[in-house]
Amino acid sequence: MGELDTVKHCLDELNELKKDQTNEFWRFTRSKDRVTGEMQNKRIKEKFEKRWNKLIIAMKNLNMTLQSLDHNAIELYNGLAGWFDEKLE
């Protein structure tokens, strides 16, 4: 399933980004040059938002795929039930 791989990849990226943000936060708090730290923080926030949006899109695609699979399973079940009913008559 390509969608599951996409979601896993996005989650892995978000975990890495979380580590980056934590490291940048501590570097910023120790930094004497606050302006550079604020610019780095803004850049990291933008990266996070971009990855978060990719994750949301991947989750929506996964949800649509699961709904489609559910619909197909129901159709298959109904088709098999009808076929068995015909054979039993």
Name the packing angle between helices 2-30 and 34-88 (round to 10°): 160
Backbone angles phi, psi at 32, to 5 degrees: -80, -25
Q: What is the CA radius of gyration of the chain?
A: 24
Burial (CB count <10 Å: 0-12, 13-18, 19+), residue 58: buried
Q: Which two tokens stand for residue 76?
A: 């298959």
CB atoms within 10 A of CB 7: 18
Q: Is the pTM of this model over 0.75?
A: no
Mean pLDDT over each residue of the chain, to the nearest integer: 74
**Residue-range domain boundaries for the chain:** 2-88
Q: What is the pLDDT of residues 27-49, one digit of tens each?
A: 665 655 555 667 777 777 787 78
